[in-house]
Amino acid sequence: MSFKNNIKKTLFLSLAIVAGTGLLVLLIAAINKKNHKICNGVEIAINGKRDAFFLNRQDVMNIITPDKNNPPRGKLLASFDLKKIEASLKQNVWIRDVQLFFDNNGVLRVTVEERLPVARIFTVNGNSFYIDSSAKHLPVSSRMAVKLPVYSNFPADKETLYGADSILMQQIKQMSPFILANPFWMAQIGQIDITPYRTFEMMPVIGKHMIAFGDGTDYEQKFHRLFLFYQQVGAKVGLDKYSIINVQYDKQVVATRKGPAGKIDSLQALKNIQKLIDASRQLPYDTVSTMVDNNIVANEAPAPTLTILKERQRNAAMKDSFNNVPPSSNPPPLKSRAVLPPKKNKPKAVMKKPG
């Protein structure tokens, strides 16, 4: 019995060796055949989320074939160093990733993933550049115009940042895609200035006021509070009566009143802000319901009263799940209350965080 088993094992091993040798011969023959094929052209695909690209096919082709007198078509496939070509392509600042291979017809397939800018930044030294979602510096393109959130007075020109400058860049990197994805804010925010304290002051398109935004933390809640102020105050009384709208404090908006605006300007501002609000309702999500604040406080100095605008809780379950805290930990809504006129020589605006 043992002798028969040995014979079976020997036969099986011999057949495996023969089969493996045959496969190896076929593989070598296939490689030799492919290496003796010639290139029948280059197909380039550029992937991005926009209709227009900062990088075109000719740019990619110039990297693949720097010598225009030596085109790839007609050359042996064995003469192409695909790893070297890939490395050369990745040196281009606009290329995030690239894949290339020859198909069965001898066509070189090149797929490029382009970097997409999310913000344009102007530094205190007057330099300007784009950044993408990884905060990679990208050159400003003269080929095409692109609408992006614009930041001015960034404190550094270099790409490698440390400390407070690094934190500031991270906040810009996180906040800019949110603005880009929301047509309302893309239409309303004209420019974002960076203060020496590395906070943000936003210049709106509609309304002659400044938005004191604070730093980039909790930016979604801040934009939400600002939207509620536009909806509940701006669309009713206009925005030109305010010089500053401050949203940096939790659960409140502090609006500083200025001199009366002209009637025509006020009416036009009312119409414009209402158009923006109406357009925002066409978004695939409910902007107002992304977060529910208990209170919005408008502190109008030197006006004699303090107006408290309450955003009631529309859905308790939605709010509890959003904040991920038990209902008992949420502060109770403030009740409307009158405040005596401020005395002379006192600060124009006194703000208290609602309890």
Question: Measuring CA to CA, which residue among 71, 5, 65, 77 is closest to residue 36?
Answer: 77
- 34 in a domain, yes or no? no
Residues 188, 294 share a domain: yes
Q: What is the pLDDT of residues 213-257, one digit of tens each?
A: 999 999 999 999 999 888 888 777 777 788 899 999 888 888 888
d(CA 171, CA 217): 7
Question: Measuring CA to CA, which residue among 122, 98, 121 is closest to residue 110?
Answer: 98
Residue 74: the pLDDT is 87
Residue 336: the pLDDT is 33
Q: What is the pLDDT of residues 136-162, one digit of tens each?
A: 999 998 777 788 999 999 999 999 999
Residue 208: the pLDDT is 85
Residues 103, 195 share a domain: no
DSSP H helix total and E strand total for the chain: 9, 14
Q: For the domain that residue 101 is a member of, what is the CATH number?
A: 3.10.20.310
Residues 192, 108 share a domain: no
Q: What is the pLDDT of residues 259-309, one digit of tens each?
A: 554 444 455 555 555 555 565 554 433 333 223 333 444 444 333 323 333
Give the confidence band of 176 by pLDDT, cuts at 50, 70, 90.
very high
**Looking at the predicted structure, is the pLDDT value of residue 22 above 50?**
yes
Phi and psi angles of residue 309, each rounded to the nearest 5 degrees, phi first: -105, 120
- 349 in a domain, yes or no? no
- Which residues lie closer than 8 Å to 99 by C-beta, 6 or more apart? 110, 111
Q: Find the range with the poorest average confidence among 110-119, 199-208, 329-338.
A: 329-338
Residues 315, 186 share a domain: yes
- 343 in a domain, yes or no? no
Residue 91: the pLDDT is 94
- Which residues lie closer than 8 Å to 115 by C-beta, 6 or more apart? 54, 93, 94, 95, 96, 132, 136, 138
Per the structure, how many domains does the chain have? 2
230 and 273 Cβ atoms separated by less than 8 Å:
yes
- 335 in a domain, yes or no? no
- 16 in a domain, yes or no? no
- 65 in a domain, yes or no? yes
Domain boundary among 93, 114, 135: 114
- 229 in a domain, yes or no? yes
Which of 123 and 13 is assigned the larger pLDDT?
A: 123
The residue range of the domain holding 308 is: 182-329
Residue 192: the pLDDT is 97
- 289 in a domain, yes or no? yes
